[in-house]
Amino acid sequence: MDIATNPGLETGRLRRTERALTAARRPLLTCGIISTLLYVGADILAAMLYDGYSYASQAISELSAVGAPTRPLLSLTGTAYLLLVIAFGCGVLLAAGRKRTLRVVGILLIGYGLVGFAWRFAPMHQREVLAAGGGSQADIMHLVLSAIDILLYFLIIGFGGAAFGKRFRVYSIATILVVLVFGALTGLEGPRIAANLPTPWVGVWERIMLFSPMLWIAVLAALLLRIDQRPEPVATGDGGGHVQKKKVTVFIGSARRKGATAAAARRFLDNLQAFGDVQGEIVFLGDYNLGLCRGCKVCFMRGEERCPLRGDRDALIEKMTASDGVVFASPNYSFQVSAIMKAFLDRLAFLFHRPRFPGKTFTAIVSQGFYGGGKIVKYLEFVGLGLGFNVVKGSCVPGLEPVVEKDRRRTERAIARQSRRFHERMLKPAYPVPSLLQLMMFRGGRNSSKFLAGDDDRDHSYYRDQGWFDSDYFYPTRLGPFKKAIGAALDWMTARTCRKRNEELALQTAAPARVPEMAAEENIK
């Protein structure tokens, strides 16, 4: 049967190939952890087998030096180590997806492994031989390969650190600094090794220098294994091999359908849909009847269904509920979101008390002329947290018109990075462990509803009916001991504050009304 007459056949082949690559990816990524354990374990074992070797005062290379009794062992384990690193590099390439920096890391790891085979032809000689003038070109080549390895480590760690979040970048920078500092200390001992002079700490310095990037590789492998949880595509049941796609809805708070905000939103959705498992929708808030919140608090106390405004609020909430991902996009108007977006957020006020979107992904896009958009992005990110979303870092894009080429490229780069982050978040587990800020927000809202609201208050009954008065968080999660302790402390502090307020209100209600006395006429000047 021809593929042209049966597109499903080609789709089936592609899906089988993808499953095969997925099955190979995790074992290959595991090689990154095994390679580090193998190298460290072989170093410790060789030092134990080498009589008279000092782990603190002799270099690692002396274990595999010409004439060393442990050279055959380390030649064998070194080959296995390099093969594992190459396999890990292949795993990183498979896991990279659209992340260019990770693809570079995979290529560099493979290159590092291949270069490592040159070490067989560049063993150093033992100290006594070097001091007697018995060195050779192999010793020079040994130093050159050491410099190449360190350079490759810097490139691998640099590109790898740029592929993930702030904490991993900080860890990567710290690792590079450790290699630089202890590499310099090791290098200072080089002439003393060649002269067969005492080097009491060279073994410690060199091992810190080498084991730090190896530990980084193991951490990278563990990180990739943790996020490598791409779900198997789910067939829609139409027999055509189609994949059930995730729904992403962008809510635009601008009346200009061809403005900078709308253009950035369309680019964002185009990037997401290019992954093949996302379908998008753009909603212009100006097309809906929202009205202006009157501040009557009926939605808080008696329920949102009793809101006197009605309008299209519930239709928009239904769109959010039906989506796997939500984006709020707004221009910068007077250093804040637009009036349309603010009216929309005010109509959602009760949802900040009763979060309804756990497991869904959220981000923000703001267009600006000159200044202030970054703060609006942070504001919208905080809004997303309050509504219960998993929040992805938003973007602030240039909005000046006419658009110059430099601004267009800046927008494309920012939106491309944001869409990758958003897609990765949608593929991760839906219910991550909450941050301290999220935990604080939930516990504060819960205790306010428990101690300040009456039993017939909608906030109180909502938390009670959801079982949130006794839960760790508003979705299923496991808190570690530290966050459990922090949660208990937050409960105690907010409960204490709420009780004090109730006591003050009770005293205020019981006290007789005070009538201000007029000042005595004789005291008035």
Does residue 120 surpass a pLDDT of 90? Answer: no
The model's pLDDT over 214-237, given as tens digits with 9 standing for 90+, comes to 999 999 999 998 876 544 444 444
Between CA 233 and CA 244 the distance in angstroms is 7
Q: What band does 311 get if pLDDT is binned at 50, 70 and 90?
A: confident
Express as a percent the part of the chain with pLDDT over 70: 90
Does residue 283 surpass a pLDDT of 90? Answer: yes
> Which among 309, 393, 391, 381 is positioned nearest to 350, based on CA atoms?
309
pLDDT of residue 95: 87
Mean pLDDT of 425-451: 87
pTM (2 d.p.): 0.62
5 with 74: CB under 8 angstroms? no
Mean pLDDT of 388-397: 93
Does residue 96 surpass a pLDDT of 60? Answer: yes
Range with lowest mean pLDDT among 242-251, 252-261, 488-497: 242-251
Query: Which residue's entry shows tokens 């061809």?
Result: 258
Between CA 21 and CA 29 the distance in angstroms is 12
Q: What band does 18 get if pLDDT is binned at 50, 70 and 90?
A: low
Q: Where are the domains of the chain?
A: 17-227, 246-427, 436-506
Q: What six digits make up the tokens of 488?
A: 């208990």
Contacts for 495-499: CB closer than 8 Å, 24+ residues apart: 495/447, 495/450, 495/451, 498/447, 498/448, 498/450, 498/451, 498/452, 499/451
- Residue 20 exposure: Cα atoms within 13 Å on the Cβ side: 6
Does residue 469 surpass a pLDDT of 50? Answer: yes
As a dihedral over the C-alpha atoms of residue 366, residue 372, residue 376, residue 382, rounded to 10 degrees, the angle is 140
Mean pLDDT of 387-406: 89
62 with 126: CB under 8 angstroms? yes
The model's pLDDT over 476-519, given as tens digits with 9 standing for 90+, comes to 888 888 989 999 999 999 889 988 888 888 888 776 555 444 44
What is the CATH number assigned to the segment(s) 246-427?
3.40.50.360
Does residue 240 surpass a pLDDT of 60? Answer: no
Mean pLDDT of 113-120: 91
pLDDT of residue 242: 54
E-strand stretches of 332-444: 361-368, 390-391, 395-398
Does residue 8 surpass a pLDDT of 50? Answer: no
Does residue 378 surpass a pLDDT of 50? Answer: yes
